[in-house]
Chains A and B, each alone.
Chain A
Amino acid sequence: MAGFLVKRLLQAIFVVIAITLLVSFAIRLTGDPAVTMFQGGGSMTEDDLARIRAALGTDKPFFVQYFDFLKGILTLDFGRSFVGGTQVSTLIGNAIPATLMLAFVSMAISIVLSIPLGIMAATSRGKGLDQAIRIFSLIGLSFPNFWLATMLVLLFSITLGLLPPSGMGGIESYIMPGATMAIILTATNVRLVRTTMLDTLQSQYVMVARAKGLSETKVLYKHALRNCAIPLITYFGLQFGGLLGGIVVIERVFNWPGLGTLAFDAVGARDYPVLQAVITVLSLLIVGINLLVDIAYGLIDPRIRTE
């Protein structure tokens, strides 16, 4: 176990360095923050710009800047935002809970919905219920998420006036962004649960469990589901990573104060410190989730535990 964790830690460090290096380098190809900041000011001289660059630290060679950034990570000091001068760590600290809450809520809704629906579809394979679930899943898969989000806002906020159209507030503010993502996730997950369940239901031990006289609920949710868990959590883990990437769009539509909004604004302003910090945090989150998935394998399957 110790060896495994050390290996994973080294892997994580490598991943974070590779991603931040790529992102930091790429963003610097897209324009000068000094120019971006004062666009429209018009009266900037080359001297003024040079002074701004010196103040921001962007006059130094790329690798010096990048190295400073890495040093900053170790002390959790990501510097100050180019826009407004707030501590980047404060910005990130405020945005992480918003994003994670939204991501967890939508994942949770999707898992709670897709497992029973997927099992229902698998047990009624080829019958009406299965067909219905598959058709709804296909419809869910076909929605573009921004379109679905806009439609929900039009219906529930503008027309019915039931829910707040944007921003993060009480529990009611979670309903639309959470539902938008959950619908799309559930559409995929139902199919995944159905397929893995169909495989598992062919197993001899499911027949043995029935031959013991166990109820169908016990057979499905105790004996079969636990054996489906490995492919399911593998996929859920990957999905969570994808979700963090895809959340930018939803955060924009609902004006959600999370990492996605932060990253979006930072790209626009060429706000290097903020962008680098967001990317670092996101990649650490994804690496962390995958580590949790690996640990969960061992908890679920004794055959993996003993290896």
Chain B
Amino acid sequence: MSATMDNQTPLLSVEGLSVDFGVSRVVEDLSFSVQPGRTVAIVGESGSGKSVTSLSIMRLADMMGATFAAGRIMFAGQDLLQASQKQMRKIRGKEIAMIFQEPMTSLNPVFTIGDQICEVLLLHEDMNKAEALAEATRLLDLVRLPDSAELVSRYPHQLSGGMRQRVMIAMALACRPKLLIADEPTTALDVTIQAQILTIMRELQKDLGMGMVFITHDMGVVAEMADDVVVMWKGKKVEQGPVEQIFASPQHPYTRTLLAAVPRLGSMTGEAFPKRMPLTVLEDGQPKLVGEERVQDTARYGDKPLLSVKDLSIRFDIRKTIFGKVTHRLSAVSKVAFDIYPGETLALVGESGSGKSTIGRTIQQLQSAHSGDISFNGRGYSEMSAADRFRMRQEIQYIFQDPFASLDPRKTVGFSIAEPINTHGLLSGGQAIRRRVDELLERVGLGSQYADRYPHEFSGGQRQRICIARALASDPKLIIADEALSALDVSIQAQIINLFMDLQAERGLAYLFISHDMAVVEKMSHRVAVLYLGQIMEMGSRRQVFETPEHDYTRRLLASVPVADPAAQRNTVLIEGDIPNPVHRVGEEPAILGREEINPGHFVAKSA
């Protein structure tokens, strides 16, 4: 423990905490303490027990069936584990407040913002309704939400994710708690919004002098927020120390492995091609480098483009009159054009609402275009027959973000992998199909013995491997990976990135890699297109976009990515505002920006 920590009595001290769910121990012998005004980050991957720890401090874990096998949680001279739920209700929201991961579902959809903030004030503070409402408005100002007076009467669904998370912060801070627990508060948000939220949290913490427990899996966020770090692994604390020390000289092998797996923005600076990097894995308790390092020079730019998207526009009708006349539209994608060459990885990056997934879905024919054309191998979709278009679904495969939702829970994984083979009649005979399924499972790093199991028996990373095997089953030329790595822990992410690269080198696959994660994009892609509100702001080789970004938005996006280095200059520039609403009246279509080629292959949108 650092010297500063011994000076004061801690605000919160967790001592030897063990938490059980039924017979399984989820947290074991965990100890740490939080000083007033300081931030302790609890870091770990899924299943490390970090969220259970936070819910145990709040004694909310009780409602999920947790039992506390051992330990004490001391707060203000009281052992919270001995407190009754009735006593805890006086502490929750008043002394200790909590912010949760999912801003989209954290607010009750049927009550106004004002009601939900007032509720906590009326409960814990001696206020009448009018005073509470005035205070709620003040709190919304505090988290820098515009039009707070009007906002109190709005409902959650009328707000964006970033705005909702600010409302959550306002609600948590309403009674000036001594301790704030933030459980992955920015994980579901876009990077520019994340930067705003982190800045607000840091400033308010300073103003209010709160202690903070910050739970996250993102080492970049840790570096920006934490004073002290607790690293958890499989329910146990493996390492603890001041943030600089954890990053500069991690002691425990797991911490070293974890830090090695973190994708770092700028790690590829100066490299012409993406590189397959060896993985750091824990072997016999020691981190070891496994696998080869290989330059990923697979793109065949001399060939004709595999996929060519020309002036693609996609719109959705949002509102109609009684007579069916459309009055409001959402222009999801406007005049987007790009090519993908065989063996190439083109990344589409952008924040939510940028239209990146819509483009992917349209290429896969899950959605129809409003105008423009897509051609594959030189043939336009519009001139293809229905049978040809069906064949396209064999040549192009899609991998989705959520590996839990994209496999049918009632079918064996073998069945799911065999389905594209059966659908397209690629092989005949059960024997041959079974052999192919086994090969595919082996190829993605799972054994053929897994073919008869069901999706729920696998972890998230394994399921994503199964989804990759399924995508490979029809022997495609192009794979669209839509946020395929976003739901995975970093160590798993690193493995899957290598799997993607190996498959590309072997089979000459092209990828359309849709992602919001700039660091992962930098590792994987040959070329990058940056989308904003349905238009390409900047497109070029990875080096052009990452090393000499020309467009303001690209720069802003890059600057918002948290840097996994506590010594780095903190990005304190507060980017104001949200991404504008892309819904517009018919006839008021957004202006289409022209583009210019500032260097060979480097395109930038002209400002309107």
> Is the CB of A215 closer than 8 A to any CB of chain B?
yes
> Is the CB of B453 closer than 8 A to any CB of chain A?
no
> Is the CB of B276 closer than 8 A to any CB of chain A?
no
**For B130, what are the chain A residues with a Cβ–Cβ distance below 8 Å?**
none
> Is the CB of B157 closer than 8 A to any CB of chain A?
yes
CA gap between A147 and B327 in the complex, in Å: 58
Q: Which of B101, B106, B110, B120 contacts A302 (CB 8 A)?
A: B110
> Is the CB of A71 closer than 8 A to any CB of chain B?
no
Whether B93 lies near A212 (C-beta < 8 A) is yes
Q: Which among A3, A205, A208, A210 has the greatest number of chain B C-beta atoms within 10 A?
A: A208
> Is the CB of B91 closer than 8 A to any CB of chain A?
yes
What's the minimum C-beta distance from B389 to chain A, rounded to whole angstroms? 34
CA gap between A139 and B608 in the complex, in Å: 71
Whether B155 lies near A213 (C-beta < 8 A) is no
In the complex formed, the residue of B with least CB distance to A303 is B157
**For B111, what are the chain A residues with a Cβ–Cβ distance below 8 Å?**
223, 226
> Is the CB of A214 closer than 8 A to any CB of chain B?
yes
CA gap between A226 and B123 in the complex, in Å: 20
**What class of interface size applies to chain A in its complex with B?**
20 to 34
Whether B110 lies near A226 (C-beta < 8 A) is yes
> Is the CB of B94 closer than 8 A to any CB of chain A?
yes
**For A303, what are the chain B residues with a Cβ–Cβ distance below 8 Å?**
109, 155, 157
**For B124, what are the chain A residues with a Cβ–Cβ distance below 8 Å?**
213
**For B91, what are the chain A residues with a Cβ–Cβ distance below 8 Å?**
213
Whether B93 lies near A205 (C-beta < 8 A) is no
Q: Which among B88, B97, B119, B124 has the greatest number of chain A C-beta atoms within 10 A?
A: B119
Whether A302 lies near B92 (C-beta < 8 A) is no
Whether A211 lies near B98 (C-beta < 8 A) is yes
CA gap between A173 and B88 in the complex, in Å: 50
Whether A223 lies near B120 (C-beta < 8 A) is no
> Is the CB of A59 closer than 8 A to any CB of chain B?
no
What's the minimum C-beta distance from A41 to chain B, rounded to whole angstroms? 59
Q: Which of B89, B97, B105 contacts A205 (CB 8 A)?
A: B105
**For B63, what are the chain A residues with a Cβ–Cβ distance below 8 Å?**
210
Question: Given the interface contacts A211-B58, A211-B60, A215-B89, does A205 sit within 8 Å of B107 by beta carbon?
Answer: yes
Whether A210 lies near B110 (C-beta < 8 A) is no
> Is the CB of A227 closer than 8 A to any CB of chain B?
yes
Question: Given the interface contacts A210-B60, A212-B119, does A302 sit within 8 Å of B109 by beta carbon?
Answer: yes
Question: Given the interface contacts A203-B105, A208-B100, does A301 sit within 8 Å of B60 by beta carbon?
Answer: no
> Is the CB of A105 closer than 8 A to any CB of chain B?
no
> Is the CB of A300 closer than 8 A to any CB of chain B?
yes
In the complex formed, the residue of A with least CB distance to B121 is A212
What's the minimum C-beta distance from A3 to chain B, rounded to whole angstroms? 4
What's the minimum C-beta distance from B586 to chain A, rounded to whole angstroms? 18
Whether B106 lies near A208 (C-beta < 8 A) is yes
In the complex formed, the residue of B with least CB distance to A205 is B108
> Is the CB of B171 closer than 8 A to any CB of chain A?
yes
> Is the CB of B507 closer than 8 A to any CB of chain A?
no
Q: Which of A6, A213, A216 contacts B123 (CB 8 A)?
A: A213
What's the minimum C-beta distance from A216 to chain B, rounded to whole angstroms? 8
What's the minimum C-beta distance from B324 to chain A, rounded to whole angstroms? 11
In A207-251, the 8 Å CB interface with B consists of 207-216, 223, 226-227
Whether A208 lies near B123 (C-beta < 8 A) is no
> Is the CB of B158 closer than 8 A to any CB of chain A?
yes
What's the minimum C-beta distance from B580 to chain A, rounded to whole angstroms? 19
Q: Which among A3, A211, A226 has the greatest number of chain B C-beta atoms within 10 A?
A: A211
What's the minimum C-beta distance from A203 to chain B, rounded to whole angstroms? 6
> Is the CB of B90 closer than 8 A to any CB of chain A?
yes
> Is the CB of A43 closer than 8 A to any CB of chain B?
no
Whether B120 lies near A204 (C-beta < 8 A) is no
> Is the CB of A75 closer than 8 A to any CB of chain B?
no
CA gap between A211 and B183 in the complex, in Å: 12
CA gap between A209 and B58 in the complex, in Å: 12
Question: Given the interface contacts A204-B100, A204-B102, A303-B155, does A209 sit within 8 Å of B108 by beta carbon?
Answer: yes
Whether B58 lies near A208 (C-beta < 8 A) is no
In the complex formed, the residue of A with least CB distance to B85 is A216
In A139-186, the 8 Å CB interface with B consists of none
**For A6, what are the chain B residues with a Cβ–Cβ distance below 8 Å?**
322
What's the minimum C-beta distance from B295 to chain A, rounded to whole angstroms? 45
What's the minimum C-beta distance from B532 to chain A, rounded to whole angstroms? 27
**For B98, what are the chain A residues with a Cβ–Cβ distance below 8 Å?**
208, 211
Q: Which of B109, B157, B168, B322 contacts A227 (CB 8 A)?
A: B109
CA gap between A223 and B85 in the complex, in Å: 19
CA gap between A212 and B60 in the complex, in Å: 11
Whether A212 lies near B157 (C-beta < 8 A) is no
In A1-32, the 8 Å CB interface with B consists of 3, 6
CA gap between A302 and B153 in the complex, in Å: 11
**For A302, what are the chain B residues with a Cβ–Cβ distance below 8 Å?**
109-110, 155, 157
In the complex formed, the residue of A with least CB distance to B60 is A210
Q: Which among A213, A214, A306 has the greatest number of chain B C-beta atoms within 10 A?
A: A213
Whether A205 lies near B106 (C-beta < 8 A) is yes
Whether B107 lies near A208 (C-beta < 8 A) is yes
In B89-138, the 8 Å CB interface with A consists of 89-94, 97-98, 100-102, 105-111, 119-120, 123-124
In the complex formed, the residue of B with least CB distance to A206 is B108
CA gap between A282 and B584 in the complex, in Å: 45
**For A223, what are the chain B residues with a Cβ–Cβ distance below 8 Å?**
108, 111
In the complex formed, the residue of B with least CB distance to A208 is B106
**For A209, what are the chain B residues with a Cβ–Cβ distance below 8 Å?**
108
CA gap between A207 and B58 in the complex, in Å: 11
Whether A213 lies near B89 (C-beta < 8 A) is yes
CA gap between A71 and B107 in the complex, in Å: 54
**For B107, what are the chain A residues with a Cβ–Cβ distance below 8 Å?**
205, 208
CA gap between A135 and B438 in the complex, in Å: 47
In A72-102, the 8 Å CB interface with B consists of none
CA gap between A302 and B116 in the complex, in Å: 14
Whether A301 lies near B97 (C-beta < 8 A) is no
Question: Given the interface contacts A205-B107, A301-B109, A302-B155, does A212 sit within 8 Å of B102 by beta carbon?
Answer: no
CA gap between A223 and B119 in the complex, in Å: 11
8 interchain residue pairs of minimum CB distance: A213-B93, A213-B92, A3-B322, A212-B93, A204-B105, A302-B155, A205-B108, A213-B89
Could you pull out 7 A-B pairs where Cβ atoms are within 8 angstroms? A205-B107, A205-B108, A211-B98, A214-B93, A300-B110, A303-B109, A306-B158
A interface residue numbers (CB < 8 A to B): 3, 6, 203-205, 207-216, 223, 226-227, 300-303, 306
Known: A203-B105, A212-B93, A302-B157. 9 other contacts (CB 8 A): A3-B322, A204-B105, A205-B105, A211-B92, A211-B100, A213-B93, A213-B120, A226-B110, A301-B109
